Amino acid sequence: MIRAIVTDIEGTTTDIQFVHQVLFPYARERLAEFINAQQHRSEVRAAIDGVRQEIDQSEASLSQVTDALLEFMDEDLKSTSLKALQGMIWRYGYENGDFTGHLYADVLPAFKRWRAQNIPLYIYSSGSIAAQKLLFGYSNEGDLTPFLSGYFDTHVGHKRQTGSYIEIAKQIDLPAEQLLFLSDIHQELDAAKAAGWQTLQLIRGEADAQSQHPQVSDFSQI
């Protein structure tokens, strides 16, 4: 029996192309200017200090921090500090109407179905919680945040680590075997399964022959 669903975003609710061709370049182009202009805001300072820790250079200049962040982006490194800064920059894009959060057409009907069945729905993404709220709040289907019971990001751990799913189950306060994790990445599902969760892989594009998980091609099949 499934008592709560936790879903990934990129490649699961949302086209990977939107994240990589719209969101990531938008943040990259504005990163240096944003850091220079906003460096005194407490959340920006915290992220800058986080990068200094990650590169083990407590005295790194702003320009060294910016260069490190650009390298993180090149490697698609799921750095918590990078994700916090990207989320702050994306806010301007959503609020200005430069883009809306992409959701596949099958997502909203499933959200409505799960709400009718009283199954709470949570998000777990490497994107910061603030970024997750923006994507669902300014989505191409309107504001879907009322459908969401909570959000998890890398503050609980990385998505390929079993400990992250143990922590999320603890915070949701349900036994792992009553939780379902939806993701396109089998290594994330492996970690969830090792924590005792039920899993379902979204195959929105190419087949994944390495996967041991049940698969669906969209949310209407769940």
Ligand X SMILES: CSCCC(=O)C(=O)COP(=O)(O)O
- Give the residues lining the site for ligand X (CB under 6 A): 8-10, 19, 23, 78, 83, 86, 125-127, 131-132, 135, 159
Cβ at position 216, least distance to ligand X in Å:
18
Of 197, 169, 200, 196, nearest to 184 (Cα)?
200
Please, are residues 93 and 99 in contact by the beta-carbon 8 Å criterion? yes
Coil vs helix vs strand at 122: strand
Closest CA to 161 of 135, 189, 141, 181: 189
The reply on whether position 101 binds Mg ion by CB under 5 A is no
For position 153 contacting Mg ion by CB under 5 A, the verdict is no
Place of tokens 């809306």: 100
Smallest gap from residue 126 Cβ to Mg ion (A): 8
- Asked whether position 8 contacts Mg ion by CB under 5 A, the answer is yes
Report in angstroms how near the CB of residue 88 gets to ligand X at its nearest.
12
By residue count, the chain amounts to 222
- Compare residues 28 and 78 and give the one whose CB is closer to ligand X: 78
Interface with Mg ion includes 11 (CB under 5 A)? yes
Strands (E), the chain: 4-7, 121-124, 150-152, 179-183, 198-202, 215-216
Contacted by 19, from Mg ion, ligand X, none: CB < 5 to 8 Å by type: ligand X
Q: What string marks each residue from 168 to 187 as x (binds Mg ion by CB under 5 A) or -? A: ----------------x---
CA 68 remoteness from chain centre: 21
By CB under 5 A, residue 10 contacts Mg ion? yes
Smallest separation (angstroms) from Mg ion to the CB of 12: 5
Closest CA to 81 of 32, 144, 126: 126
Query: In this chain, which stretch among 1-9, 54-62, 78-86, 109-117 interacts with Mg ion, using CB under 5 A?
Result: 1-9
| For ligand X, the closer CB: 187 or 221 | 187
Compute the half-sphere exposure of residue 85: CA atoms within 13 Å on the CB side of its CA.
Answer: 34
For residues 124 and 168, the answer to whether their CB atoms sit within 8 Å is: yes
Measured from the CB atom, is 126 or 198 closer to Mg ion? 126
**Interacting residues toward Mg ion by CB under 5 A:** 8, 10-11, 184
